Structures are given as C-alpha cells and as structure tokens.
Structure 1
C-alpha cells in the first residue's frame, strides 16, 4: 500500500507499507534546514504543537529526547485518551533519532523507528522515518488505527510551525 496526502498541498507525505517485511516507511520534505526540523522533534514544547491529527489535544508527561531518554504523551479528543510511550536509543544532533514507539492501546506491538534527516541544500530537508514492527498484524494494526491521518496532518502542522518562525 502506498498513500500520499492531498496532492494540492505543497509537499506530499509518502507512506509505504512494505509487502515483504512488517515495515512502514514515511518520506516527507520540509522547507527548513535539518537543524530546525530536528529541534521540532526533540523539544517537547514544539513536539506537542505539531504531532498528531488536527483537533486532538496533546499532553506530554515525559519527554527526554536524548540517547537513553524516554517519553510518554497522551493525545485526547472527545473525552478519549490515547497514550504513547517509548525509549530513545540514539539521538544525533540534526541527523538521526532511533526510538521505540508503542501505542498503549496495542501494548504488544512495539515499533523500532529510525528517523533520518537529510540536508537537501537551500534550507530544505528530507525526513525518512522507518518503523519496523515484529509482526504483520502489529504493523497493520498501527496503519489501521489512523496513523496516516495523524502523520499527514501532523506534518502539515509542522510545515506551518516552521513557516511562521515558531522553530528557531
């Protein structure tokens, strides 16, 4: 399965589900240098402003984005809470984040995620996120849970945050 955001938007979010491995790959370009895209991922206040679908509230309970750090946040909508948690295994300034990711509604399906930021020059960045789950069922559960909407709308919010000077 390959999916993209609305083609009338400036940048597409490519979401590719690998048919042979329980893996999801997301590729997205941003009109900002890697340092700003990285900061938006590692600063908890910034992360809370763009992550997830529009219309959901974000509450960060713990967010220590460094090698060996951990996180837990809760997204809420219409009185329903959705918790997420994980551990940061490797964080390299402006280029790499390796972490685990667990949706607490599916606690047995933990993904290993690798986020790579590539400098495209001219103040632009390509983000490639690869998420590997230990089973096809787990991977498909993540995809079915609304991941596409959350990722696509979240990156649209990140575009706005980067454009309006919210990330320095």
Structure 2
C-alpha cells in the first residue's frame, strides 16, 4: 500500500506551548492503480509502426516461346551483377557483345547510383523518347547478400527506373567478369 506521511510538529524544548499537529496520511493506492490502468490502455490502443513493403511483380513460371519475349536494344540494356563485399559489376549490352567495358562499382551516390543516372541520361538522349528508357537487368550471384539485392531495388525506386528485372546470372558472367575482378 502506498502512502504519503508528513511528520507532526512539536517535540522541541522550551518556548511556547503549541498544540500538537496531527500527521496527514494520504492513501495513494487508488492513484497507482489508475496510472497502471492508463498505461495499459494507451499501450493497447496505440498502433505500432507498420512495416513497409515494396511491390515486386514476378513473371509466371510458364516457359515463354522466343517470339513472345520482348526485344530490347543492346544500347538500352544495363546489366548489374551483384558480387561479394558489397561490390557490383556493370556493363552495357549483352555478354557476347559488351558495349564499352565492364566496370566494378560500390553502392551509394558515387557508386552504382551515379552509373545508373548517367546511363539514364545517355539512353534518353540516344532514343529521344522517355518511354524507351533504360532497361536494367539485376543479376545476383550466390556470393551476394540479400541486403545487396534490396539496396539495388531501392536504387531503382530512388532513381525512378521503371523497367528492370531480376534475372539469373549466366555462368560465363561469373567466370569471365566476377572472378576476374575478385568479387566472386
């Protein structure tokens, strides 16, 4: 039981004779009960932060015929290979016809984000049509982490890349590119 006691007066020697003050006693049990009820009420009625999820549309598992596949110009295709140690390797075009050279980059504003922004500008200038923008193929390797995949998907959302796909990495990309640059 909680209580609040205040001491009484008197008890000193000499001086005037005064009447003895009675001690005040306040029972705080009801107030403590009310405080716990209020805390419980607010804990149960507040809503916790809802987790935010990104929408990801995956194709059907049905095998497509070659004529059903979308034809995309090599000049518009950016391949991003996710390697180990938070590194990515990127190249334009196809594996058998790489435009320029394959380069290694990290994550962040001076890494793959800068590459994607530059390629978006150059592809839009090349095609002249914003609807025919950059197409990004994200290829995680078995040495990459789930966090790297989420980071690259976040980059797609931040940079407003509308055409991207997560595809399987080709074994030649692993041997010819990732192993060559020691990120596999």
TM range (shorter): under 0.3
TM-score normalised by the chain length of structure 2? 0.23
Of Structure 1 and Structure 2, the greater strand share is in 1
Higher relative contact order (CA 8 A, sep 6+): 1
Larger radius of gyration: 2
